[in-house]
């Protein structure tokens, strides 16, 4: 078996939305009108807190694919002012969010029990305002949302190897700035976090054998498996990983931007940052290298994502273990590519309609479970009812 990232084709039904004249598509997709389409044409369930479960119109997989978005489109009209990562979500909302995550992940593992047959993943990508709105590849909906996806491994095995130079495959060891130049500093920093449920994976032990991904990323095994996701402690540790990443990222690019910069404001682990980073010669040497490059090369400087850009996943590895991982200096946007799956989405209504009934049956079952656990109320659309 040839190991490498796979590129699959996923058909979708063309979205019947007209972008107003004079607007760029990504500007329109941030609008309230587009979010209304998510609710009215693709919505499955909403909660009183503003969490919306919906069918992915532009999906990654027609086996199983859904998302929950924290829909603040009518409460916060400024797209750049909306919560774009877990650390910005109010605690009472995050409590519901975490419970919904556990219910859906549990369903996926129950419905797809064999890790040899199905690749199961859940997670979110950064949607921060790290690039100008008009830049190519900028995420279109600047609100925090989770992905819940299952891929058929038979389809992946039969898929062609993806181009390793695909710009979206740059989260891992071969291209990442952190991995290439300060791997040990990065891993030692994470080693200082207070984690009990999450246990550091041995290097390379958490890869998907078929794709060879994730590459070079710090990863943690979820001790206790799915049962651990039923407890607040797991989600606190999941947030700790993200907070640690944000501290590292902000500190590094703060030093790139301004020589001998002070600690970033509102830092989560000031003692860890001061001890492990701001007095670390290797860390500061690489910051100088990047700063000097930015001064010499305008194109390189323009490509820098100065604010934290990440993807964070819970996925099942080949041995059936649940693994948490987080990207490094993220360039790509598609969360599936963290595991070496490149999805080419093509408009093909006829092909999509062949898979839609089985897909929707599973999404309706997830909705029924969430409603049963008092995690929202069903949404009726022109295509389906509220139950």
**pLDDT tens digit sequence for 205-214:** 899 999 999 9
**pLDDT greater than 60 at residue 333:** no
Which of 175-179, 192-196, 256-260 is the least confident region?
175-179
Residues 6 or more apart from 148 whose CB is under 8 A from it? 64, 65, 66, 67, 68, 104, 105, 108, 121, 122
- Pairwise CA distance, residues 2 & 314, whole Å: 25
Mean pLDDT of the chain: 89
The per-residue pLDDT for 259 is 95
Place of tokens 């190897």: 161
Name the strand (E) or helix (H) holding 275: helix 270-276
**pLDDT greater than 70 at residue 134:** no
Please report the beta strands in the chain, taking only residues with DSSP state E, as ranges in sequence order: 6-12, 43-46, 51-55, 64-70, 118-125, 145-152, 198-200, 219-222, 311-316, 322-326, 341-347, 377-378
For the chain, the domains span: 1-164+332-387, 171-331
Cβ–Cβ < 8 Å for 149, 191: no
Which of 51-65, 158-172, 259-273 is the least confident region?
158-172
Is 136 in a helix, a strand, or coil?
coil
Q: How many percent of the chain have pLDDT more than 90? A: 65
Residues 6 or more apart from 128 whose CB is under 8 A from it? 84, 85, 307, 308, 309
| Average confidence (pLDDT) over 167-192 | 78
Cβ–Cβ < 8 Å for 247, 269: yes
- Could you tell me the pLDDT band of residue 172, with boundaries at 50, 70 and 90? very low
Dihedral of CA 156/159/165/167: which sign? Answer: negative
| Average confidence (pLDDT) over 122-141 | 64
- Could you tell me the pLDDT band of residue 129, with boundaries at 50, 70 and 90? low
The per-residue pLDDT for 175 is 54
**Parallel, antiparallel or unpaired: strands 219-222 and 198-200:** antiparallel
How far is CA 91 from each of CA 96, 128, 232, 260, 336, rounded to the nearest angstrom?
Answer: 9, 20, 12, 34, 28
- Pairwise CA distance, residues 248 & 267, whole Å: 10
Exposure string (b/e) for 363-382, b if CB count within 10 Å is 16 or more?
bbebbeebeeeebbebbeee
DSSP 144-186: -EEEEEEEEHHHHHHSPBPPTT-GGG-SSTTT-HHHHHHHHHH
Query: The pTM is what?
Result: 0.93
């Amino acid at each position: 078996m040839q190991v490498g990232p796979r590129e699959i084709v996923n058909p979708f039904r063309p979205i019947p939305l007209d972008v107003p004249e004079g607007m760029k598509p990504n500007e329109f997709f941030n609008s309230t009108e587009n979010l209304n389409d998510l609710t009215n044409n693709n919505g499955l369930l909403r909660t009183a807190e503003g969490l919306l479960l919906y069918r992915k119109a532009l999906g990654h997989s027609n086996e199983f694919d859904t998302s929950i978005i924290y829909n603040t489109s009518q409460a916060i009209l400024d797209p750049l002012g909306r919560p774009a990562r877990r650390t910005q979500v109010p605690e009472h909302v995050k409590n519901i969010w975490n419970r919904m995550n556990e219910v859906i992940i549990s369903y996926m593992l129950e419905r797809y029990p064999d890790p040899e047959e199905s690749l199961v993943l859940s997670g979110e990508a950064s949607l921060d305002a790290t690039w100008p709105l008009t830049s190519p590849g900028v995420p279109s909906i600047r609100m925090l949302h989770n992905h819940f996806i299952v891929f058929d491994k038979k389809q992946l095995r039969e898929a062609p190897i993806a181009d390793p130079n695909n710009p979206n495959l740059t989260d891992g060891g071969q291209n990442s700035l952190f991995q290439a130049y300060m791997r040990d500093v990065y891993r030692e920093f994470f080693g200082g976090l207070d984690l009990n449920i999450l246990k550091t994976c041995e290097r390379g032990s958490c890869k998907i054998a078929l794709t060879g991904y994730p590459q070079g990323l710090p990863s943690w095994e979820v001790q206790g498996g799915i049962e651990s996701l039923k407890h607040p402690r797991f989600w606190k540790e999941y947030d700790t990983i993200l907070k640690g990443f944000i501290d590292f990222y902000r500190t590094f690019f703060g030093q790139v931007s301004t020589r001998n910069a002070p600690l970033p404001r509102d830092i989560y682990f000031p003692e860890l940052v001061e001890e492990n980073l701001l007095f670390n010669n290797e860390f500061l040497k690489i910051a100088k290298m990047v700063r000097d490059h930015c001064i010499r090369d305008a194109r390189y400087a323009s490509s820098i994502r100065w604010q934290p850009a990440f993807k964070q996943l819970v996925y099942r590895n080949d041995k059936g273990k649940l693994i948490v991982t987080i990207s490094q200096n993220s360039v790509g946007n598609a969360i599936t590519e963290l595991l070496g799956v490149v999805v080419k989405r093509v408009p093909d209504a006829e092909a999509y309609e062949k898979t839609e009934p089985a897909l929707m049956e599973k999404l309706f079952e997830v909705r029924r479970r969430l409603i049963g656990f008092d995690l929202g109320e069903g949404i009726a659309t022109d295509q389906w009812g509220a139950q």
